[in-house]
Amino acid sequence: MALPKDLVAASATPLILSILHNGDSYGYDIIQQVREFSGGELEWADGMLYPILHRLEKKQFIESYWEKAESGRKRKYYRISKGGLEELVQQRNNWEKLSQILQNLKGKHHV
Amino acid sequence: MALPKDLVAASATPLILSILHNGDSYGYDIIQQVREFSGGELEWADGMLYPILHRLEKKQFIESYWEKAESGRKRKYYRISKGGLEELVQQRNNWEKLSQILQNLKGKHHV
DNA sequence: TGACATACATAGAAATGCTATGTATTGTTA
DNA sequence: TAACAATACATAGCATTTCTATGTATGTCA
């Protein structure tokens, strides 16, 4: 079974910020990195990514700049901002926290 | 900062199923267990929980029955079903999977 | 008898996600 | 050189989801 929408959505931002933390990148490439790093588990549609990138830029977690590839094609690169890095740390903490709670409940029994 | 909505929402179902896996319970009590197990991190409003319980029942992940407490007050208890247990396992896997992917991206660098 | 905790319910407002669609360029292959 | 595939970005607005706000009722305690 594919991963459910809500989880995919909730993980999108930290994933993108993580990728950009490892180096500037552009939309099309991010999708491929996500596919790669997830072992094919996550297959983002491009139409889904761009709105997220725009949202993140609006929140000033990332900044964009245009660049021309050797191919001649123009690409919109994104770099993570200071605020974005803070957000990334925060979001990773949140994930860990909830995973922890979930873990705590595993096999616990009533008093 | 409080945990963001989307994560709270995404974790609600596995949390509820986990709690019920540890023993039958009812709405009001579930809220308290969640608060307890999360160390106060998660404070669910009751109006948020009941719709979720109804949804889970509709999907047949849980079943309900009324019972009278010693106090004399009626409570609607829920028990996890076989399908619910399968769902719980599935959802825990999903969480782990995404946590893993997030982890993989930490400190990775371009080739 | 008033205040508070316990206990459940739901309409529908509000927020959100992303599908569907569009544009354009470069590379390939038939 | 035509057709197709891959690369690359953009967005309107539909569809879905969430849960806030509100309502009801009972038991307990001061």
Q: Which of B32, B37, B105 to mutate to test the interface with A (most CBs of A within 10 A)?
A: B105
What Å value separates CA A5 and C1' D15?
Answer: 13
| pLDDT-derived band at B2, boundaries 50, 70, 90 | confident
pLDDT tier for residue A1 given thresholds of 50, 70 and 90: low
Q: Provide the phi-psi class of B72: left if phi over 0, else alpha when psi is between -120 and 50, else beta.
A: left
Closest CA to B19 of B5, B9, B29: B29
CATH of the structural domain A5-104, one choice from 1.10.10.10, 3.40.50.300, 1.10.150.120, 3.20.20.70: 1.10.10.10
Contact in structure between B55 and A59 (CB atoms under 8 Å) = no
State the CATH class of domain B8-104: mainly alpha
Q: Which nucleotides of D are covered by protein (CB under 7 A)?
A: 7-13, 17-23, 26-28
B-chain CB neighbours of A32 within 8 Å are: none
pLDDT tens for each residue of B21-61: 999 999 999 999 999 999 888 999 999 999 999 999 999 99
Q: Can you list the alpha helix ranges (DSSP code H) found in chain B?
A: 5-21, 27-37, 46-58, 82-104
Write out the two tokens for B105: 């991206």
With pLDDT > 90 as the criterion, what percentage of chain B qualifies?
68
The alpha-carbon gap from A72 to the nearest alpha carbon of chain B, in Å, equals: 22
Query: What is the reported pLDDT for B111?
Result: 46
- The domain ranges of chain A are 5-104
* Burial of A65: CB neighbours in 10 Å, binned 0-12, 13-18, 19+: exposed
Maximum separation of any 2 CA atoms in chain A, in Å: 67
Which of A26-30, B67-71, B84-88 shows the lowest per-residue confidence on average (mean pLDDT)? B67-71
